A and B are shown apart, each in its own frame.
Chain A
Amino acid sequence: MTLFADYDEIIERISVNQLWDFPGGVHPPQQKALSNQSNIETLPLDKTFYVPIKQHIGVDGRIIVSEGDSILKGQALTASEAPFSVPVHAPTSGIVKKVTEHVSAHPSGIPELSIIIDADGQDTWIPLKPVADYAKTGKSELIERICDAGISGMGGAGFPTHIKSNNTKPLEFLIINGIECEPYISSDDRLMREHAWQIRQGIDILVHILQPRQVIIAVEDNKPEALETMSIACQQKTNYQVVSVPTKYPAGGEKQLVQVLTSREVPSDGLPIDVGCIMYNVGTCYAIADAIVEGKPLIERVVTLTGKGFKSPKNVWARLGTPIQTLLKHGDYDDSTQSSPRFIMGGPMMGFTVTSLLTPIVKISNCILVPADNELPHPDDERACIRCSACSDACPASLLPQQLFWYSKSKELEKAEEYNLFDCIECGACAYVCPSEIPLVHYYRQAKADIRNQREEKERSDKAKIRFEARKARLQKEKEEREEKHRIAAEARKASLNKDGGAAKDKIAAALARAKAKKEALAKKQTQNDALGAPAPESDKTEVASIDEVSTESASSQTSAKTTNETEQAKPVLKSTANESSDITAEEDAEAKAAAKKKRVAAAVAKAKAKKLAAKQIKKENNES
Chain B
Amino acid sequence: MTMLSLSSSPHHHNRRDTGQVMRLVCYAAIPGILTNVWFFGFGILVQAAIAIVTALVTEGVIMELRKKKTERILKDYSAVLAALLLAISIPPLAPWWVIVIGTFFAIAIVKQLYGGLGYNMFNPAMAAYVMLLISFPVQMTSWLPPLSIAEQSHTLWDAIHTIFTGFTSTGFSVEQLKVGVDGATMATPLDAVKTALLQGYTVTEAQEHIIFDGQYGKGWFWVATAYLAGGLFLIKTKVINWHIPGSMLAAAALLSFVLFLLDGDQYASPLFHIFNGSLVLGAFFIATDPVSASTTIKGRLIFGAAIGFWVIIIRNWGGYPDAIAFAVLIMNMTVPLIDYYTQPRTYGHQSKARKSS
Q: Would you call the interface of chain B mostly helix, strand, loop, or mixed?
A: loop
Chain A CB within 8 A of B6 CB: yes
Asked whether B291 lies within 8 Å of A341 as measured between CB atoms, the reply is no
Asked whether B10 lies within 8 Å of A348 as measured between CB atoms, the reply is yes
> In the docked arrangement, what's the CA distance between A357 and B6, Å?
13
> In the docked arrangement, what's the CA distance between A588 and B195, Å?
99
A residues apposed to B, CB below 8 Å:
1-4, 22-23, 26, 28, 107, 183, 255, 259, 264-270, 274-275, 340-344, 346, 348-357, 369, 371, 376-381, 383-389, 392-393, 396-400, 402-403, 419-420, 423, 426, 428, 431-437, 439, 441-442, 445
Asked whether A432 lies within 8 Å of B10 as measured between CB atoms, the reply is yes
> In the docked arrangement, what's the CA distance between A346 and B290, Å?
34
Interface pick from B128-136, B173-181, B346-354: B346-354
Chain A residues lying within 8 Å of B354, measured Cβ to Cβ, are 2-4, 264, 267, 274-275
Chain A CB within 8 A of B12 CB: yes
Given A266-B347, A400-B296, list of 10 further CB < 8 A pairs?
A: A255-B348, A275-B351, A346-B9, A355-B4, A388-B290, A389-B295, A399-B344, A400-B343, A431-B13, A435-B18
Chain A CB within 8 A of B7 CB: yes
Asked whether A353 lies within 8 Å of B5 as measured between CB atoms, the reply is yes
Near A by CB (< 8 A), chain B positions 1-30 give 1-18, 20-21
Chain A residues lying within 8 Å of B17, measured Cβ to Cβ, are 381, 383, 435-437
Chain A CB within 8 A of B54 CB: no
Chain A CB within 8 A of B357 CB: yes
> In the docked arrangement, what's the CA distance between A376 and B300, Å?
33
Chain A CB within 8 A of B191 CB: no
Chain A residues lying within 8 Å of B349, measured Cβ to Cβ, are 268, 420, 423
Q: Closest CB of chain A to B49's CB: distance in Å?
A: 25
Among A269, A380, A386, A396, find the residue whose CB has the most chain B CB atoms closer than 10 A. Answer: A386
Asked whether A420 lies within 8 Å of B346 as measured between CB atoms, the reply is yes
Interface pick from B92-100, B116-124, B248-256: B116-124
| Residue of chain B at shortest CB distance from A376 | B11
Chain A residues lying within 8 Å of B343, measured Cβ to Cβ, are 400, 419
How many residues does chain B have at the interface if contact means C-beta atoms less than 8 Å apart?
A: 51
Asked whether B347 lies within 8 Å of A259 as measured between CB atoms, the reply is yes
Near A by CB (< 8 A), chain B positions 58-87 give 72-73, 76, 78
- Digitize B314-357: 1 where CB-to-A-CB distance is under 8 Å, 0 elsewhere: 00000000000000000000000001000111111101111101
Asked whether B296 lies within 8 Å of A435 as measured between CB atoms, the reply is no
Chain A CB within 8 A of B241 CB: yes
Asked whether B9 lies within 8 Å of A267 as measured between CB atoms, the reply is no
Asked whether B355 lies within 8 Å of A275 as measured between CB atoms, the reply is yes
Q: Give the tally of cross-chain contacts (CB within 8 A).
A: 190
Q: Closest CB of chain A to B124's CB: distance in Å?
A: 13
> Among A353, A387, A433, A436, which residue has its beta carbon within 8 angstroms of that of B7?
A353
Can you report 6 A-B residue pairs in the complex whose CB atoms are below 8 A from each other?
A: A267-B354, A275-B351, A275-B354, A357-B4, A399-B346, A445-B8
Chain B residues lying within 8 Å of A344, measured Cβ to Cβ, are 11
Chain B residues lying within 8 Å of A2, measured Cβ to Cβ, are 353-354, 357
Asked whether A400 lies within 8 Å of B78 as measured between CB atoms, the reply is no
> In the docked arrangement, what's the CA distance between A380 and B259, Å?
54
Asked whether B347 lies within 8 Å of A1 as measured between CB atoms, the reply is no
> In the docked arrangement, what's the CA distance between A398 and B345, Å?
7
| Residue of chain B at shortest CB distance from A4 | B354
> Among A353, A371, A388, which residue has its beta carbon within 8 angstroms of that of B21?
A388
> Among B6, B7, B296, which residue has its beta carbon within 8 angstroms of that of A389?
B296
Asked whether B348 lies within 8 Å of A400 as measured between CB atoms, the reply is no
> In the docked arrangement, what's the CA distance between A439 and B5, Å?
16
Asked whether A389 lies within 8 Å of B10 as measured between CB atoms, the reply is no
Q: Closest CB of chain B to A102's CB: distance in Å?
A: 15
Q: Closest CB of chain A to B27's CB: distance in Å?
A: 16
Chain A residues lying within 8 Å of B118, measured Cβ to Cβ, are 384-387, 436
> Among B11, B300, B339, B347, which residue has its beta carbon within 8 angstroms of that of A268?
B347
Chain B residues lying within 8 Å of A442, measured Cβ to Cβ, are 8
- Known contacts being A342-B5, A400-B343, A423-B348, is A433 close to B14, with CB within 8 Å? yes
Chain A residues lying within 8 Å of B296, measured Cβ to Cβ, are 389, 392, 400
Q: Closest CB of chain A to B65's CB: distance in Å?
A: 17
Among A380, A387, A428, A441, find the residue whose CB has the most chain B CB atoms closer than 10 A. Answer: A387
Q: Closest CB of chain A to B75's CB: distance in Å?
A: 9
> In the docked arrangement, what's the CA distance between A383 and B118, Å?
10
> In the docked arrangement, what's the CA distance between A22 and B10, Å?
20
> In the docked arrangement, what's the CA distance between A9 and B17, Å?
43
> Among B4, B292, B345, which residue has its beta carbon within 8 angstroms of that of A353?
B4
